[in-house]
Amino acid sequence: MNNSELEHVASELEWLRKEINRHNYLYYVLNQPEISDSEYDALFDRLVELERRYPELVTPDSPTQKVGAPPVEEFGIVIHKIPMLSLSKANSFEEFVDFDRRCKELLRLDPSYKIEYSGEPKLDGLSVSLIYENGILVQGSTRGDGIQGENVTQNVKTIRSIPLRLFDDAAANIRYIEVRGEVIIHKHDFERLNAERAAKGEPPFANPRNAAAGSLRQLDPQITRARPLDAFFYYIAEIDGVKLETHIEELELLKKLGLKVIPYYRLCVGVDDAREYFNKLLEEKESATFDMDGVVFKVNRLDWWTILGEISRSPRWAIAWKFPAEEAISVLLDVQWNVGRTGIVTPVAMLKPVRVSGVEVRKATLHNEEEIKRKGFKIGDKVIVRRAGEVIPEVVKPLVEARDGNEKEIVPPKNCPVCGSELVKEGEVFIRCPNVSCPAVLKESIIHFASRGAMDIDGLGEKLIEQFINNGLINDPADLYLLKKENLLTLERMGDKLASNILDSIERSKKTTLPRFIYALGIRNVGEHTAELLAEHFSTLENLMDASLEELTSIREIGPVVAKSIRDYFDSPANKKLISKLLLCGINYEPVKKEEKTALPLSGKGFVFTGTLNSFTREEAERIVVELGGKVLSSVSSKTDYLVVGSEPGSKLEKARKLGVKTINEDEFLRLIGRK
């Protein structure tokens, strides 16, 4: 082959690598792909083919080098030129204020001065260090003991979002840069990974952090490559060729270089602003796609880092303010069996009071009898209690090694703890009180009937409902509409005014909507959203009552289990009687007009969301879609019309690409809903 031919090939190779790297970045870092998978594959195949024919032209930054090297016997050792430090911790606002005060003392600033901090999530993964020389990734290492770590270069190269070559423009003057960040596994990927392992009979990972660590430290890079690893960067340990003044500038430079930078970071001015940021992140914690266990605050001015220095292997210019622990140890004092509105009897743990996530917990769910058996709980056990976000506290597991032999078995009841009826087994895990007029079932079903999303009877709380039932005033929800003032006045602490108010609210609730009415009936597995789907599909309650299982399952989002609950409910003579009685009492709703719906801009369109939007919370965006006639679906399927992709999207994006579902970004979504 002559020189000009070789030059020709070299320039095609260069173009291919640039183009593929650009698409990798668009896909894995920005999550905004521009081309289809098959177009991408065509480019990649061409590159592989050319490199096979001209092996002398393969370069270390070629995208083909991301596929991973052969296994090694053991990892080499890397001595960190700049030690990988730890962070000192704060557990409260007061401790953070102490930190802020110490900084001001060392910097000789006035106590009232507001220091600027970069606030960012504390990621719970495995820290890594990457070195790029002249823009090319030459080394990746783990933290190890902070002084020396393991050489995992071949493994980090397989991580999709880590570039083998930095962007030429931004990296032009950077001869050398060492960046630090965290390798993580997103929560949804973690769940999928564990499910796959379970299917293969492999032991599950305990948490995303362990999974990330175990996946990165594999001697065979092919195993690492098969794991869903991602990496976020938050620190420049050393840079040669560019001068920066603040930490935020560092983060912005990392972005321009094509690295994936820690999301949610923000400049905070002074301690109050920092606290506000901390609280905001604490709220976001559950909905974030990755685990974070606190907030890291770093003094923004880099010249101050030099003055502040470090102490016992932690910098004095940064602190990790940890989120309150979500788990605590308590004692299982007793188990109470609660009867719910559908008659299902569930075990509730009575606990020695304990603070979890800043709240005192005395009761927590034990889920069901099966769970008690599986985990082997006994009364008297020391147990781990967990409270995450808005979910009800739960008892995670007993500490078996702490037993002293005085623990007692938990015996599920044979009879309903409220009405004494013999309980029946329902499916594998549930026990149920079959008595439709069990006072506990009645109370719970009326609380549900009167609740905000259902008939919305203002002022009718749990205590009053209990009084009605105990005094024999009501035997079913319809009896509420038959109450008279003289009945109410017989109750303790009931005055004329209060009685009138309650009767007014009850009267007002008669005029309702079909979705509310359906939801109020308390059909098993039918929440507000399903009630809306049913109302829209059937327009009247009569149509719904007559619907066959086939018709029910033909509705998007309604599966066989929900369909069967609905059919079972309407097949019960007692329920039919209750519905006639409610209608006789005067409950009425406007029939749902289908024409109106179809006239709306998003009528008939199914939306799925993934990632975080800037302009709205997820709930707001979903409400807008519904108001404009669209439907919000929970997962991507062929019935999805649009996948709206925010920042940090989850696995839904990949699925949408596979199924050829249209994906739109936030801007396109705003245009679609007429806000742009």
Active centre residues (catalytic): 122
Q: Which is nearer to ligand IVH, 82 or 400 (CB)?
A: 82
Residues in the chain, overall count: 676
Size of the site for ligand IVH (CB under 6 A): 18
Per-residue burial over 313-343, b if 16 or more Cβ lie within 10 Å, else e, is: eebbbbbbbbbeeeebebbbeebebebbbbb
The answer to the question of residue 87 lying near ligand IVH (CB under 6 A) is: yes
The answer to the question of residue 315 lying near ligand IVH (CB under 6 A) is: yes
Q: For residues 175 and 135, what is the distance between their CA atoms, to the nearest angstrom?
A: 7
- Which stretch in 313-321, 405-413, 616-624, 646-654 sits in contact with ligand IVH by CB under 6 A? 313-321
Closest residue to ligand IVH: CB criterion: 127
User: What single-letter amino acid sits at 440?
Assistant: A
The answer to the question of residue 234 lying near ligand IVH (CB under 6 A) is: yes
Alpha helices in 522-617 (DSSP H): 528-538, 541-546, 549-553, 560-571, 573-584, 594-598
The answer to the question of residue 648 lying near ligand IVH (CB under 6 A) is: no
- In eight-state DSSP terms, residue 206 is S
In 3-state terms, the chain is what percent helix, strand and coil (to 5)? 40, 20, 35
Long-range pairs, 366-375, Cβ under 8 A, ≥24: 366/335, 366/394, 366/395, 367/394, 368/429, 368/430, 369/412, 369/429, 369/430, 369/431, 370/428, 370/429, 371/429, 372/335, 372/347, 372/410, 372/412
Q: For residues 186 and 146, what is the distance between their CA atoms, to the nearest angstrom?
A: 25
- In whole angstroms, the minimum distance from the beta carbon of 85 to ligand IVH comes to 4
Do residues 133 and 166 lie in contact, with contact meaning Cβ atoms separated by under 8 Å?
no
Q: Which is nearer to ligand IVH, 130 or 410 (CB)?
A: 130
Do residues 174 and 259 lie in contact, with contact meaning Cβ atoms separated by under 8 Å?
no
The answer to the question of residue 182 lying near ligand IVH (CB under 6 A) is: yes
- Identify the residue among 127, 153, 215, 435 touching ligand IVH (CB under 6 A): 127
Q: Which is nearer to ligand IVH, 264 or 589 (CB)?
A: 264
Of 548, 576, 535, 556, nearest to 633 by C-alpha is: 556
Q: Which is nearer to ligand IVH, 127 or 530 (CB)?
A: 127
Which residues in 96-125 contact ligand IVH (CB under 6 A)? Answer: 120, 122-123
Which residues in 254-283 contact ligand IVH (CB under 6 A)? Answer: 262
The answer to the question of residue 142 lying near ligand IVH (CB under 6 A) is: no
Q: Which is nearer to ligand IVH, 233 or 337 (CB)?
A: 233
The answer to the question of residue 233 lying near ligand IVH (CB under 6 A) is: no
Binding mask 452-491 for ligand IVH (x = CB under 6 A): ----------------------------------------
Q: For residues 148 and 143, what is the distance between their CA atoms, to the nearest angstrom?
A: 7
Q: For residues 257 and 185, what is the distance between their CA atoms, to the nearest angstrom?
A: 22
- In whole angstroms, the minimum distance from the beta carbon of 142 to ligand IVH comes to 10
Do residues 307 and 359 lie in contact, with contact meaning Cβ atoms separated by under 8 Å?
no
Q: Which is nearer to ligand IVH, 21 or 612 (CB)?
A: 612
- Identify the residue among 229, 296, 460, 656 touching ligand IVH (CB under 6 A): 296
Binding mask 540-579 for ligand IVH (x = CB under 6 A): ----------------------------------------
Whether the CA torsion 434, 440, 442, 448 is positive or negative: it is negative
Q: For residues 183 and 143, what is the distance between their CA atoms, to the nearest angstrom?
A: 11
Q: Which is nearer to ligand IVH, 230 or 479 (CB)?
A: 230
370, 404, 427, 432 from 410: Cα distances, Å: 12, 16, 20, 18
- In whole angstroms, the minimum distance from the beta carbon of 226 to ligand IVH comes to 24
- Identify the residue among 320, 583, 628, 673 touching ligand IVH (CB under 6 A): 320
- Identify the residue among 85, 171, 248, 345 touching ligand IVH (CB under 6 A): 85
What does the binding site for ligand IVH look like in residue numbers (CB under 6 A)? 84-87, 120, 122-123, 127, 143, 180, 182, 234-235, 262, 296, 315, 318, 320
